[in-house]
């Protein structure tokens, strides 16, 4: 998932920003939720939401504070970017699933390409609708201005 991921605030009870830990055995650095929020420019609530829906599963300290690995952060970054690109939550989960499965098979690549092509076509349709709406609003505005005098 890392290669494909490369393509591309606080809301209350924040964990201490300096919270870090080292995972035993493989020396993976873990960071707290506030650090993740700051790095990604998102709110703590957004992070908690993605955890609630199962997109990320951070580790927990004995005091239940969330600790995030680089993999968690990259998954979260991709999920946020996909949502900003107007993918719905089910599509985000589907894409993340396709990207996380190893080894990558031609069938998964084809599924991902199809999903992206469909989404691109939908965005084109939405753009046309928005352009029509903007045109209509501008026409109404011109009428209002013309009738002001």
CA dihedral 78, 11, 31, 35 (to 10 degrees): 80
Number of domains in the chain: 2
Q: Is the pLDDT of residue 21 over 70?
A: no
Shared domain for 43 and 66, answered yes or no, is: yes
What's the whole-number mean pLDDT along residues 129-149?
A: 94
What's the whole-number mean pLDDT along residues 66-70?
A: 96
Shared domain for 119 and 96, answered yes or no, is: no
State the pTM of this model.
0.74
**Is residue 108 situated within a structural domain?**
no
Shared domain for 26 and 66, answered yes or no, is: yes
What's the whole-number mean pLDDT along residues 14-28?
A: 46
- Any residues with CB less than 8 A from the CB of 122 and at least 6 apart, and which? none
Q: What is the CATH number of the domain that holds 36?
A: 1.10.1660.10
In angstroms, rounded to a whole number, what is the distance separating the alpha carbons of residues 112 and 146? 51
The range of the structural domain enclosing residue 50 comes to 2-102
Strands 59-60 and 29-32, how do they pair? Answer: unpaired
What's the whole-number mean pLDDT along residues 122-145?
A: 97
Provide the pLDDT for residue 80.
Answer: 97
Provide the pLDDT for residue 17.
Answer: 35
Shared domain for 41 and 98, answered yes or no, is: yes
Provide the pLDDT for residue 26.
Answer: 52
Shared domain for 32 and 90, answered yes or no, is: yes
Whole-number average pLDDT of the chain: 85
Provide the pLDDT for residue 84.
Answer: 96
**Is residue 55 situated within a structural domain?**
yes
Tell me the per-residue pLDDT of 71-119, one tens digit each, with 9 for 90 and over.
999 999 999 999 999 999 999 999 999 988 877 888 999 999 999 999 9
Q: How many residues does the chain have?
A: 149
Task: Please answer whether residues 80 and 53 qualify as being in contact, where contact means their C-beta atoms are separated by less than 8 angstroms.
Answer: no
């Amino acid at each position: 998932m890392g290669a494909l991921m490369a393509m591309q605030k606080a809301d209350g009870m924040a964990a201490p920003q300096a919270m870090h830990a080292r995972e035993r055995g493989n020396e993976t650095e873990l960071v707290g939720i506030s650090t993740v929020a700051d790095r990604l420019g998102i709110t703590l609530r957004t992070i908690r939401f993605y955890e609630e829906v199962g997109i990320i599963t951070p580790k927990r300290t004995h005091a239940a504070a969330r600790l995030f690995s680089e993999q968690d952060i990259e998954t979260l970054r991709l999920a946020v970017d996909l949502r900003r690109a107007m993918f719905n939550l089910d599509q985000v989960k589907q894409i993340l699933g396709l990207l996380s499965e190893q080894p990558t098979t031609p069938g998964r690549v084809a599924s991902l390409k199809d999903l992206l092509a469909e989404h691109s076509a939908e965005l084109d349709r939405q753009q046309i609708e928005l352009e029509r709406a903007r045109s209509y609003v501008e026409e109404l505005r011109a009428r209002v201005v013309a009738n002001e005098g």
